[in-house]
Amino acid sequence: MTRWTAYKIKPVEFLESEIVGNTLIIEGKRIHRVRILGEVKRVSETSILTFELEEGITVKDFEKKGKNIKEKDLVDIIGKVGYFEGSPYISLELYKVRNENKEKWRELRDLEIEITRKYIKDEDEKTPGDYSKDDREDLITEEIQKDVYKEGIDNKDIVLKVIKDRKSVEYEELLKVVKIDEYELDKILEELLEKGYIYEPKAGLYKTVD
């Protein structure tokens, strides 16, 4: 099953945008997952961990994945949009602490948001599985899976091989095949792009350089 895309948005957008069901309305389009960079202002723990980010954003960590997060950490949060008793929140899925060169990370995120905003797609009430079934074929084959998961091959080699085998591949499919988190995949893709092994003809689509 394909996961919803985690779109990069500004903290203030999360608080000021309308929420319908479990979707956030960004420029008239519904999205289910967000990626937000923000400083932790407060941490509290009961049956779950709760983080308050700048601008007053609430992040709920039901699985307590972020038990090492501290106040004043700059965190890159990926999670699902939630709404409870009149208040929006983010249900934590993944996070990365970005304490080195904080201002650089903020500048980079602002640029990423500006560049990628036009690629936001409206995610209606279908499930991710419906999109996967109706809108594109599942290109994963047993032969390729067996090949890429051989012991001794690191994740960068796996990512490059998957892209080569498919001629072109979308970001979400890479996540599904390689089975690593988004932060590691982003780092690998950046390295492959910089070294000229692959290129990105459009956002989220990767091809190898012939």
DSSP secondary structure of 122-139: ---SS-HHHHHHHHS---
CATH (residue range 6-119) = 2.40.50.140
CATH fold group of domain 137-208: Arc Repressor Mutant, subunit A (1.10.10)
* Lowest-confidence pick of 1-5, 22-26, 202-206: 1-5
Chain region(s) in the chain for CATH 1.10.10: 137-208
Contact indicator for 38, 66 with CB cutoff of 8 Å: no
Rounded Cα–Cα distance for residues 87 and 184 (Å): 32
Of residues 115 and 2, more confidence is placed in: 115
Under the banding of pLDDT at 50, 70 and 90, the label for residue 3 is low
Burial class (CB in 10 A: 0-12, 13-18, 19+), 1: exposed
pLDDT, residue 139, reads: 30
Helix (H) or strand (E) holding 157: helix 155-166
Q: Say what percent of the chain tops pLDDT 70.
A: 84
Contact assessment for residue 45 and residue 62, using Cβ atoms and an 8 Å cutoff: no
| Of 12-21, 48-57, 60-69, 116-125, minimum mean pLDDT range | 116-125
Banded model confidence at residue 114, pLDDT cuts 50, 70, 90: confident
Domain with CATH 2.40.50.140 in the chain: 6-119
Query: Per residue in 177-209, pLDDT tens?
Result: 777 888 888 889 988 988 888 988 888 889 988
The per-residue pLDDT for range 128-150, each reduced to its tens digit, is 544 433 333 333 333 334 443 44
pLDDT of residue 128: 55
Instruction: State the pLDDT confidence band at 125, using cuts at 50, 70 and 90.
Output: low
Q: What is the mean pLDDT of the chain?
A: 82
Q: What is the reported pTM?
A: 0.61
* Chain segment 36-54, per-residue pLDDT in tens: 999 999 999 999 999 999 9
Mean pLDDT of 156-163: 84
